[in-house]
Amino acid sequence: MSLQDKYASVVSAAQSAGLSDLSVQEQDGVLYITGKAANSASKDSVWNALGAIDSSYTATDINIDVQVSGLAAGATLTVATDDSNLNIRQEPSTDASIVGKAAKGETVTLVEQSSDDWWKIKTADGEEGYAYARYLKA
């Protein structure tokens, strides 16, 4: 089974979301899906499709890089965790030190979309660091 077959629902979600510059490539045992989403909801639909297959988001044979178009430094984002605080880290990694936390529903400012997974943000209290983009909504 090819990776495109394995992740057909994720590819379909990316196509249905209307991502611009959509690219789906299989290389060296990894499926790469890249593109630009018009809004956070479109980006989330791709991630939700992956979550239906891999609820822990730990698959190493897929790489999703979907940036939200139109989000520039200074954009206001809302923390959209299920029920816990969002960790703000020193570096874009779960292994990095936690330098702050943002509560569910809290508004933060985008510093930069560092990658699809990690965005650099700043809280109203001035805490600045990297947060998992999956839990940030424009």
Residue 104, classed as helix, strand or coil, is coil
Residue 22, pLDDT > 90, answer: yes
Q: Are residues 63 and 9 in the same domain?
A: yes
Q: Are residues 45 and 90 in the same domain?
A: no
pLDDT at position 31: 95
Q: Are residues 62 and 87 in the same domain?
A: no
Instruction: Please say which residue of 68, 85, 115 terminates a domain.
Output: 68
Q: Are residues 80 and 58 in the same domain?
A: no
For 30-69, what is each residue's pLDDT tens digit? Answer: 999 999 888 888 888 998 999 999 988 888 999 998 888 7
pTM: 0.63
Cβ neighbours for 3, distance < 8 A, ≥ 6 positions apart? 26, 29, 30, 31, 61, 62
Q: Which residues pair with 121 in a beta bridge?
A: 110, 129
For 123-135, what is each residue's pLDDT tens digit? Answer: 999 999 999 988 9
The candidate with the shortest Cα–Cα distance to 32, out of 40, 21, 42, is: 21
Residue 120, pLDDT > 80, answer: yes
Residue 114, pLDDT > 90, answer: no
For 67-109, what is each residue's pLDDT tens digit? Answer: 887 778 899 999 998 888 999 999 999 999 999 999 999 999 9
Q: Are residues 50 and 94 in the same domain?
A: no
Q: Are residues 58 and 85 in the same domain?
A: no
Q: Are residues 60 and 7 in the same domain?
A: yes
- Structural domain span for residue 90: 76-137
SS3 string, 63-91, reads EEEEEECCCCCCCEEEECCCCCCEEEECC
Instruction: Please say which residue of 14, 36, 68 terminates a domain.
Output: 68
